[in-house]
Structure 1
Amino acid sequence: MSESLEELVLGDVSFHFAKLSNAICQIPLLRSLSITIPKDYSGIVITQFIDALLSLKCFTCLDLGISGESDETLDAIANASLPLRRLFVNSFCSKFSNVGILNLLTKSNLLQHLDLQLVLLLFEPLVNLISINLSRNFLVSELSFLAIVRHCPLITVIKMVSTSLGSKNIEEESLVDMPVNFHVKVLCLACNQDLKDETVKMIVSVCPSLENLDLSNCDKISEGAVVEVFKRCYRISDLSLVNYRLSQFQFEFEVPTLFVLNLSRLMISDEAPYAITKSACKVKHLNLDFCNEITEKGVRQAVINCKQLKVISLKSCEKVTADVVDWMVHERPVFRKIVVSS
């Protein structure tokens, strides 16, 4: 093994586990390991593997998969108190028990980045946590979100793609004394098909410092909820509304901090980008891919309104001809990237 190796990705490949443990001891700079632990391995072999990880002074990142019943291995990792900063528990770990996950989170005091995709959600306060990914976890609800915001004071990035957000009505008791977290900057809520207006409004009220919000493929929220985002999150700089059912925007206020706007795959006419860019005139990156009703007129209006526009993408905009590229280059010589394709 190389003494300079820092990251090792093994996934679920077959290998002699005991020999791997011995090899790990010979990689002093290893900091990240991605591995699926095979089933039917004895406790002695697992102990040797964990001892090997403990011998590494730089080791902080574990991407873990375990086949079969896995609590014994999980408990062994937890009890070893590995100095983990980043933990990814992948979809192989479908047989973790509540106790196993809770034990690991409780003893991971240094954890900063947590990814629990397709794993039972059990939330334990983690005061050092910076980012969490609970995507494709259908146990995630509004209460889960509020618990994270309340018990993770340093949380900056929250990803909840394809969850159960919005599938249940929010009880009034849960909204009493709602937390406010000014550290949350990035919130990805894409593909939450049940996400409703009241949930969106609740979320932006407890995260007023949002800068990056992804509401792609959330077709049950209304235009009013999006406007509420702009009203409450005065620092919003990156908004994605891909495949969102948008009619037209009637903004009566400016959005001076919005710099990146993704409106791809929206069934919108020329009036929508004109209204949006008139209020958000400092947009620097505009994505109108697959907006089949947009014409050259709408593109021109957006470019004229957004005097700081540097990047525009018009993939598969069927009613936009290549002639508009020549106009854009002459109208705005500072363009860095223009994408136009049939």
Structure 2
Amino acid sequence: MELPYEVLVYLFKYLPKSDRKVASETCRSWYLAANDQCFLKNKVAVFYKTVLSDDFPSPLNIFEESIITYNNYLFNEVEISNKQNEFWNKMGEHIRCLTIRDCDICEKVFVYMLQKCTNLETLNIENCKELFMSGRLLEGKSEGFLTDNLENLKCLSLSGNQYLTDALFNRFVSAAPALEELNLSACSLQFHCGLVKKFYPLSINIFQNPSESVLTFYFLLQFIERRAKDIKRLHFSCTLIDGAALKSLSEVKDLKLHSLQVYSCDQLTNAGILSLTTHQTSLRELDIGLCTRVTDQSLVNICKNLVNLEYLNIRRCRAVTDLGIAELHNLKKLKSLNISQCELLTKDGLEKGICAGENKSLEELDINSLNIDQTGIIMLSERLPNLRVLNLSNCFNAVTDASVQVIFKNQLFLRTLKMSHCDKVSDAGLTGMGKIETKDGEDGPIMSSIDESHVPPKIHLGSRAEEEIVRDARRKRDVMLMCENLTMDSYTGYSLARIKSLKELDISGCNRITDVSLTYAFNFKEMIIINLSRCQQITCKGIEHLVRNCPSIEYINLTDCYNLKDDAVIEIVKHLKRLKQLELRGCNQLTDETLTAISTHCTKLQFLDVQGCRNMSPELACSIGSLPTLHTVLMSKPGPYIDDGKKNRAPAPAFLPSLMRKLRLH
């Protein structure tokens, strides 16, 4: 007896996206339920490096004939021509969000697309320089049918288009009366007053005669003043916006911004931030990362005036110190905070700021490369109980076996944990083995080195590095013995496996992690992304346990894990049925047997990196590009072969053009 459609939809709401996708492949009724309208609004049909011409069976036909109607489409690095007109004829009216990124498309085809997409709400045209190069795009099309087609457009992104001008910009926004969000990141936006005087004399009407040569902030500001009541979100990242321009923008009458992104804007100053915080008190999201001129003065004003802020990014604002961070306790609604690479921050600032008391609102925290010790990590873990995302990468002195134990004890809701290059973490910390209890009942320290008090002193004749290798081997042996003898009574530590809902884990560069951790601390049914690059002690034995206990992995990075052999990759491709991205760069023991296994078992693989795998045949590595789902293969350039001491400079074999689109030679 089949479950009713409504019951299936209700049950699928509790499944993660990946599980729901796999469930949809079970039968027709499950497919329909997993693609109910409540799920479709967030689904995107992605065409990446796909051949859409008539010479091959076009993937667009699948969507034309599908019983499910998708509303969101992304075209990335593809050629869009008039050969796809039938697709726009059939599907155009259903499209709500359309993204064209790094595509080869001409003006005539683009206009035809807009004619057919009559219900667009989001339009993203990113890095399509050829489309804007002539300056004639949409000329004469701003009125009439185009205005009717874009009347529901709320979000417009023209980011990364260096040939964008005031005239081109005006044609787009004139046809979109309901615009709420505008993205001009990485555009050549000009702020110099001399250009304004040159192109816009005092007597001229700028909207009737917009410049066809430059994109000016002056013209943009006039547009925002006209639409101030509607505009809610602005993106000017990677532009030359300065304090004076931000001040002018902030003081626009009736403008009530909810989100502003000015990431990597080196000219931005405290004066502009001060004006922003004074006039735009409704802000909920603010990104000023990599704005090197921002200081404590800006952060103090942000925390004082923007009390509704939920997202704040001040990554690599190197002038910010504990004085500014201490004011973060005023942001009671803050959910996401990025203070990574702020070199002057210490534990004291964090204690007075986000850790002034128990902070239940903060869910995402990025403290990558902060100069704190392990007591700082322990404090954060104890006072931020509801974290979902935590990035501790490059906190060399802070992330130790003792501090990660506190994380595993308190952060049970984590979805993402990143500890890249924290090389003090060992198997003892990830498994919880070696933890002791003191006489007063408090938790004692983690074993970070073996107890050699019973070992008679010896003179070690090797180097310090060799001595450390010996210590690591003994530590691995002791932890393995404890794990094998594990009982409920003797187990007093906290294993990584306690974080049941973990979906992304990055422990790249943690070279003390061995097969012991993969065997006893990894059991995550929802794990999707795992980065084990430069964990050079792991072997096939650990990989075997990993792929069996974490069957949902889609992205795995094993770069420079030079102890891995073909049998490890065979285990991966056989048991990870959802695998989409596999990185094996620098695994120099792998041979053609690995490539054969990939081509046999990987039915969903999209990305493969085998650079530096010198025992692989270049011909076989190239031929693997024939896999239907694979869009990118990274491999080393085929060099001259050496036969009997002589170089054979025979040319590499000719490959099909469709395969060459997938290959990137390095």
Cα deviation 1:2-57 (Å, max 9, x = unaligned): 45583334788797x8x899778735445314253423468999777534213233
Identity %: 16
Query: Which residue in the other structure is 2:592 paired with?
Result: 322
What is the rounded CA distance, in whole Å, between the counterparts of 1:235 and 1:149 in structure 2?
29
CA distance in 1, matches of 2:319, 2:381: 21
2:158 aligned residue: 8
Q: Deviations over 1:155-195 (max 9, x none)?
A: 25x44554428x634479534524233643xx5555x2746
Of 264-273 and 138-147, deviating more is 138-147
Cα distance, 1:239 vs structure 2: 1.4
Which secondary structure does the structure 2 equivalent of 1:61 belong to?
strand
Determine if the alignment matches structure 1 residue 26 to structure 2 residue 174.
yes
Question: Contact (CA 8 Å) 2:540, 2:567: kept in 1 or not?
Answer: no
* CA–CA separation in structure 1 for the residues paired with 2:174 and 2:285: 27
Q: Residue 118 of structure 1 aligns with which residue?
A: 290
Distance change in 2, residues 1:12/1:196 (3 Å): farther
d(CA) in 2 for partners of 1:231, 1:141: 36
Name the counterpart of 2:415. Answer: 211
Distance 2:424 2:321 in 1: 17
Quote the residue 1:76 is aligned against.
248
Shift of the alpha carbon at 1:238? Answer: 0.6
SS of 1:54's partner is: helix
Aligned 8 A contact 1:188 1:215 in 2? no
Give the equivalent residue in structure 1 for 2:267.
94
Deviation track 1:196-216 (CA, whole Å, cap 9, x = no partner) reads 544444445522433123333
Letter in 2 for 1:115: D
Counterpart-to-counterpart distance in 2, 1:90 and 1:310: 33
Partners of 1:143 and 1:232 lie apart in 2 by: 36
TM-score by length of 2: 0.40
The Cα of 1:59 is off from its aligned counterpart by: 5.8
Does structure 1 residue 240 correspond to structure 2 residue 494?
no
Query: Which has the larger helix fraction?
Result: 2
SS of residue matched to 1:105: helix
What are the ranges of 5 or more consecutive residues in structure 1 without an aligned counterpart? none
In 2 relative to 1, CA 20–148 (structure 1 residues): closer, same or farther, beyond 3 Å? farther
Q: Is the 8 A contact 2:531 2:557 kept in 1?
A: yes
Equivalent positions of 1:247-286 (< 5 A) are 247-248=513-514, 250-251=516-517, 252-253=520-521, 254-270=523-539, 273-274=542-543, 277=546, 281-285=550-554, 286=556
**Counterpart pick for 2:333 among 153, 166, 170:** 153
Match of 1:177 in 2: 357
Separation of aligned partners in 1, 2:314 and 2:356: 24
Cα pair 1:88 1:114 within 8 Å, conserved: yes
> Larger relative contact order (C-alpha < 8 A, sep ≥ 6)?
1
Given that residues 284 and 310 in structure 1 are in contact (C-alpha distance below 8 angstroms), is that contact kept between their aligned partners in structure 2? yes
Aligned partners of 1:257, 1:59: CA distance in 2, in Å? 36
User: Secondary structure at 2:236's aligned position in 1?
Assistant: strand
Question: How far 1:261 moved relative to its partner?
Answer: 0.6
- Of the three residues 153, 164, 168, the one matched with 2:346 is 168
Partner SS for 2:537: coil
**DSSP-derived class of the 2:223 partner:** helix
Q: Secondary structure at the match of 2:174?
A: coil
RMSD: 4.6
Aligned to 2:224: 53
SS at match of 1:52: helix
Contact 2:346 2:370 in 1 (8 A): no
Query: 1:270: Cα distance to partner?
Result: 0.8
Question: What secondary structure, in the 3-state scheme, does the structure 2 residue paired with 1:339 have?
Answer: strand
Tell me the matched-pair count.
329
Q: Residue type of the partner of 1:179? A: N
Higher deviation after alignment, 129-138 or 261-270: 129-138
Mapped pair 1:62 → 2:328? no
Contact 1:130 1:154 in 2 (8 A): yes
Aligned to 1:277, the other structure's residue is in SS state helix
Cα offset for 1:116? 0.9
From 207, 218, 222, give the equivalent of 2:425. 222
Offset of 1:133 from its aligned partner?
3.4
- Amino acid across the alignment from 2:343: S
Gaps in structure 2 of 5+ consecutive residues: 1-137, 203-215, 388-410, 432-493, 614-666
| Residue deviations 1:125-163 (CA, integer Å, cap 9, x gap) | 45655544333322467887786687263625x445544
Is the contact between residue 340 and residue 367 of structure 2 (CA under 8 Å) also seen in structure 1? yes
| Distance (whole Å) between structure 2 residues aligned to residue 149 and residue 258 of structure 1 | 33
How many Å apart are 1:307 and its aligned residue? 6.0
Q: Matched residues in 2 for 1:79 and 1:93: separation?
A: 21
Q: Tell me how far 1:263 sits from its aligned partner.
A: 1.4
Amino acid across the alignment from 1:336: K
* 2:634 counterpart residue number: none
**How far has the Cα of 1:101 moved from its partner?**
0.8
CA distance in 1, matches of 2:249, 2:429: 44
SS in 2 for 1:213: strand
- The corresponding residue for 1:135 is 315
1:287 aligns with 2:530: no
CA contact (8 A) 1:195 1:220 kept: no
Amino acid at match of 1:237: K
Q: 2:604 aligns with which of 332, 336, 339?
A: 336
Structure 2: how far apart are the matches of 1:313 and 1:170?
41
Cα distance in 2, alignment partners of residues 176 and 302 from structure 1 = 45
Give the residue type in structure 2 aligned to 1:111.
L
C-alpha separation in 1, matches of 2:232 and 2:325: 30
For the pair shown, which has the larger CA radius of gyration, 1 or 2? 2
Q: Give, in whole Å, the separation in 2 of the partners of 1:314 and 1:21.
A: 41
Q: Any idea what the Cα deviations from partners look like across 1:253-292, whole Å, max 9, x if unmatched?
A: 5444433211124333317844972795344132213322
TM-score normalised to structure 1 length: 0.70
Deviations, residues 99-128 of structure 1 (Å, cap 9, x unaligned): 431331353344344321222153324565
